Chains A and B, each alone.
Chain A
Amino acid sequence: MTRVLRLYPQLLRTGFAEAVAYRAEFLIWMFSTNMPLVMLAIWAAAARSGPVGGYSQQGFAAYYLAALLVRLMTGAWVVWEMTMEIRQGTLALRLLRPIHPLLQWSADNIAAIPMRGVVAIPVIGILLFVARSELSRDWFSWLLLCPALLGGWLLYFLVQAIIGTLALRVESAASLFDAWLGFSNILSGYLVPLDLFPEAVRKLALVLPFRFQLSFPVELMLGRWSHAEALQLLGAQWAYVLFFLLATRVAWRSGLRHYAAYGG
C-alpha cells in the first residue's frame, strides 16, 4: 500500500507528460465528443414553439452543455488499451512492474484530466453565458458534484476494465464494450434527458447503473434534487461503484489465469 502511494504520483506525472506530448491528438479526441450538441440542435428547434416537457430552449442548452461537460471530465479509454496490449502481448511487461496494471492504467486516465479541463473551460464559459439561470443555486449540489463526478468516472473506468479483462478470454471484447456504449448512450441520459422518455423506459433507466455515469451529475448541476434525495442518489452511485470494483477484482483474477502472453 505504501509502495503504491509512493509510486502513484510518479505514474501520474508520466501520464500527464504523455497527455501533453500528444496534445494535438488529444484535443481532436476531445472535439469528437459532440453528440450532446447534435442532440441540442434538434431539441432547440423543437422548443422554439414553446417548452417541451418542462424544458425551454435554455433548459435544453443547460442540460446538454452540462452533459457534455460531464462526458469530457469523466472520460476513460482503458478498454481499448487493454484489448490492444493483450492482443499484442505487451501486457506481460506491465505484469512485471511492481504495481497492479489496472492502477497503472488508471493513473494514465486520471493524469489526462487537466488536459480535459482545458477543453472543458470554454464549455463552462458557454454554459454560464447561455443558461446561467438554469443552474443550481444551492452550494450543496455543487459540493456533491465532486464525489458524483468521481463516482461517474469510476463507473466508466471499471466497466471498461471488466470488459477489457474479458479480452483475456475472448477476442471480441471491444465489440462488447461497443454494445455497452450503445445502451449507455440511451439509458444514461446522454442523448435524451431521462425524464422525456416514456414511463416504462424511464423506470428502467432509473434503476440501472447507466444514469449514475452521466445523468446524476448533470441533474446535480441543474439543481433537480433536494439535499436528502441527492445524498441518497450519491449513496446508490457509490454502491454501484463498490459492486463494480469487486466485479473487476474477480474478473481480473480469474482472467489472468487464462492469459498466455503471445509474442511480446
Chain B
Amino acid sequence: MMRALRVVRAQLRASLAIALQYRFEFAVEGALALLWIAVTLAPLLVVFGTRAEVAGWTFPEMLVVLGWFVALKGLLEGTLSPSLMQVVEHIRKGTLDFVLLKPADAQLLVSLSKIEPWRLIDLAAAGGIFAIAFRRIGHPPGLTQALLALVLLCGAVLVLYSIAILVVSIAFIAVRVDNLLYLFQSIFDVARWPSTIFRGVLAMIFTFVLPLALMTTCPALALLGKLTASTAVAALAGTLLFAGAARAIWLASIRRYTSASS
C-alpha cells in the first residue's frame, strides 16, 4: 500500500514536470479552460432567466450539480483521459510491454502518466460556483453534509475512473477505438444536469447502466442536505461494485494482451 502511494507520487511528479515545461501552452490552455466554463454556465443562465424552477430544482441547487460537473470534467479531461489515451497508443505500438515489465501495478502506472495541470482551474471554478450557489441559498452546508458530499465525491471519482478503465480495456480487444474515450467524454456532458430531469428509459440508463447520477447528482444532493441515508449507502455500495468489476475486467484484458511489436 505504501509502495503504491509512492508510485503514485512519483508518477504525479514526473507528469507534472513534463506538463510544466510548456509554459506558454499552460497559459493558453488555462485561458481556454476559463472560456469553456463560461460556455458551460451560459445555457443554465438562459434557462433560469425564463424559469424559477426546472423539474423541482432551483437555480442555486442546479448550480451545485454544475459545480460537481465542472470539477469532475476537469479531472476526467485533465488526468484520466490523457493518461489512458496513452494506453491505447501503447497497445497500438506494442510499447505497453515496457509498462508491463516495470515492477509495479500496470494500472497504477498508466493511470496518471499524463496530466494537464491547467485543468486545476476547473476545480477552482467549481469552488467558485459552490460559493455563489450557497450565497444564494443563504446558508453554507453543514459539516456532516459536507463530509458526506466529500465521501460521495470520492465515490464519483472512483466510478469515473472505473468507466475510463473499462473503455480502455476494450482497446485490448479492438485496437482502433482510441476515440471511444471521446465518446464517453461527450456522453459525460449529460451529467451537468441533475439525473431527475430525465424520465422513463433515460432516467434508468443514467442511474443504473451508466451511473451518471452517482457522479454529480448524489454529491450535490448530499451537499444540499437532501440525500436520504439509504440512497447514500446504496450509492456507495454501487460505486464499490462498479470499481471492482472494472478492476477485474482490466486484469482479464491485460491477460489477453499479446504484444503488437513481435
Contacts and interface: CB of A to CB of B under 8 A. Distances in A.
Interface string B116-157: 000000000000000000000000000000000000000000
Interface in A176-208: 178-179, 182-183, 185-186, 191-192, 196-198
Interface string A52-65: 11000000000000
B176 A186 contact: no
**Most A CB atoms within 10 A — which of B46, B47, B202?**
B46
Given A31-B183, A34-B189, A48-B55, A42 B43 contact: yes
Interface in B163-184: 174, 176-180, 182-183
A42 to B, nearest CB: 5
A172 B189 contact: no
B63 to A, nearest CB: 13
A216 to B, nearest CB: 20
Contact of A191 (B29, B42, B193): B42
Interface stretch (B32-40, B74-82, B219-227, B248-256): B32-40
Contact of B176 (A25, A32, A191): A25
B24 interface: yes
Contacts of B43: 39, 42, 191-192
A247 to B, nearest CB: 22
B47 A191 contact: no
Given A48-B55, A185-B39, A53 B189 contact: no
Contacts of A24: 174, 176-177
B197 interface: yes
Contacts of B193: 38, 41-42, 45
B192 A45 contact: no
Contact of B179 (A29, A49, A52, A179): A29
A42 B47 contact: yes
A10 to B, nearest CB: 26
**Most A CB atoms within 10 A — which of B38, B186, B187?**
B186
B39 A196 contact: no
A35 interface: yes
B180 A179 contact: no
Contact of B55 (A45, A52, A178): A45
A47 B182 CA distance: 30
Given A24-B176, A175-B28, A43 B186 contact: no
B82 to A, nearest CB: 15
B28 A46 contact: no
A192 B55 CA distance: 19
B105 interface: no
A32 B179 contact: yes
B192 A38 contact: yes
Contact of A28 (B25, B51, B182, B190): B182
A33 interface: yes
B198 interface: yes
Contact of A172 (B28, B46, B202): B28
Contacts of B42: 186, 191-192
Contact of B180 (A28, A41, A42): A28
Contacts of A197: 46
A242 B42 CA distance: 31
A182 B198 CA distance: 26
Interface of B: 24-25, 28-29, 31-32, 35-36, 38-39, 42-44, 46-47, 49-51, 54-55, 174, 176-180, 182-183, 185-187, 189-190, 192-193, 197-198, 202
14 contacts: A25-B179, A28-B177, A32-B186, A38-B190, A42-B54, A43-B47, A45-B193, A172-B24, A175-B25, A175-B32, A182-B32, A182-B36, A191-B39, A192-B42
